[in-house]
Amino acid sequence: MPIERVFQGTIDHLQILDKDGNVDTNLEPKLPNELLDKMYRLMVLGRLWDKKCIALQRTGRMYTYPPLEGQEAVTVGATLALGNEDWFIPSYRESFGYYIRGLPLDIINLGWMGVEEGLKLDKKAKSFPYAIPIGTQHTHATGVAYALKLKGERSAVLVCGGDGSTSEGDFHDALNFAGVFQVPCVFLIVNNQWAISVPRKSQTKSETIAQKALGYGFKAIQVDGNDILAVYNTVKEALENARSGSGPFLIEAVTYRIGAHTTADDPKKYRSEEEVNFWRDRDPIKRLKVYLAKKGVWNEDYEAKVNAEAVKIIDDAVQKAETYKQEPKNMFNFLYAKMTKDLENQMKECFEA
Ligand SMILES: Cc1ncc(C[n+]2csc(CCOP(=O)(O)OP(=O)(O)O)c2C)c(N)n1
Ligand SMILES: [Mg+2]
């Protein structure tokens, strides 16, 4: 009996801006300067806000916080590519994306300060609270996307999960269902090389994470996650295809977490300084800066203005969050849509004793 090949798959890797900011002119998207300027401002704001959050945590003004440094192109590029009609379902690492979805920064601060209202998201932002349990957001996303499809809405879901989340059963359940029911969901897997102290190579034997989608019957691509042009364009196109009925898509964004996993982690215990420096050299902000300088958008004055503007936004947001009068009863109010009898009794015990 002749052997017949019944399946063959390939995964492409996309990079538009190289590590030194040189653009591949064959791939360069024609984005207006206003959008490129917005990307740069948001990445700078994200980085400075991240530094501030770490400083707040170190001085007892914020709780455990998961740093963003190094992954700004993924969070900013992906959320900027969303339409108002789409849904954003992030993990804890993409909380800065809420700002791009229209939530004020002080509300995001509140979430990391342990105030319940920080995750009571304005419905207009069409965003889910960030998932702390690894991988659970993937099944939620498939479910939301299925609902959009059943309702006949022209919108899509963007869900973000780490490389570690792809080892969870939830990830595979979500992809299988998404493929079978052709739901409008874009899975953005943020491969930052580590799941706390577990390296990517111990996570899966696959050469790429992207290829996992092929097993579930849909397409995928790997992009340079430190190249905002590649991230933005790929997510935008995938969302548009999903809205038009092409079904799910997976994007593996290859990036690196420069900081600690969270403020409760010490990465020096499991990774080398050389590795971190290798990735520092691939910084996402630096390469957009070079590109913008060549376009005549970036110069020293511009940099000073962008930084001053970011510092002001951050200071105002910290001030607002720290003077927020929280309602302690909300730790009971926000647990279920309707409070259970047990919780009601516990609340009474706490506040009426
Ligand atoms: C179900 C579950 N198991 C374990 C944990 C503990 N945990 C928190 S973060 C993390 C690693 C996640 O790594 P990855 O998905 O790559 O995301 P990253 O933190 O790198 O952004 C683990 C195991 C958890 N939060 N939830
Ligand atoms: Mg990871």
Domain ranges of the chain: 26-322, 327-353
The answer to whether residues 25 and 16 touch, using CB atoms and an 8 Å cutoff, is: no
Instruction: Establish whether residue 90 lines the binding site of ligand 1, counting it when its CB lies within 6 angstroms of any ligand atom.
Output: no
pLDDT tens-digit series, residues 292-314: 999 999 999 999 999 999 999 99
Q: Which is nearest to 280 in space by CA: 15, 19, 40, 48?
A: 19
User: Among this protein's residues, is 270 annotated catalytic?
Assistant: yes
Q: What percent of the chain has pLDDT over 70?
A: 100
Cα torsion 201, 207, 210, 213 to 10°: value is -110
Q: Does CATH place domain 26-322 in 3.40.50.970? A: yes
pLDDT at 149: 98
- Please tell me the pTM assigned to this model: 0.97
User: Among this protein's residues, is 257 annotated catalytic?
Assistant: yes
Handedness of CA 48, 54, 55, 57 (dihedral sign): positive
Instruction: Establish whether residue 134 lines the binding site of ligand 1, counting it when its CB lies within 6 angstroms of any ligand atom.
Output: yes
Q: Is the pLDDT of residue 353 over 80?
A: no
Angle CA 162–154–170, to nearest 5 = 30
The active-site residue out of 138, 257, 282, 287 is 257
The answer to whether residues 16 and 231 touch, using CB atoms and an 8 Å cutoff, is: no
Q: Is the pLDDT of residue 335 over 90?
A: no
Contacts of 156 (CB under 8 A, 6+ apart): 86, 87, 145, 148, 184, 185, 186, 239, 242, 243
User: Among this protein's residues, is 261 annotated catalytic?
Assistant: yes
| Confidence tier at 328 by pLDDT (50, 70, 90) | confident
pLDDT tens-digit series, residues 144-190: 999 999 999 999 999 999 999 999 999 999 999 999 999 999 999 99
d(CA 218, CA 199): 26
Of 42-56, 89-103, 259-273, 318-332, where does mean pLDDT reach its minimum?
A: 318-332
Instruction: Establish whether residue 282 lines the binding site of ligand 1, counting it when its CB lies within 6 angstroms of any ligand atom.
Output: no
Please tell me the distance between residue 54's alpha carbon and the centre of ligand 2 in angstroms: 19
pLDDT at 62: 98
Locate the DSSP E strands across the chain. 13-14, 87-89, 157-162, 185-191, 194-195, 198-199, 220-224, 249-254
Q: Is the pLDDT of residue 111 over 90?
A: yes
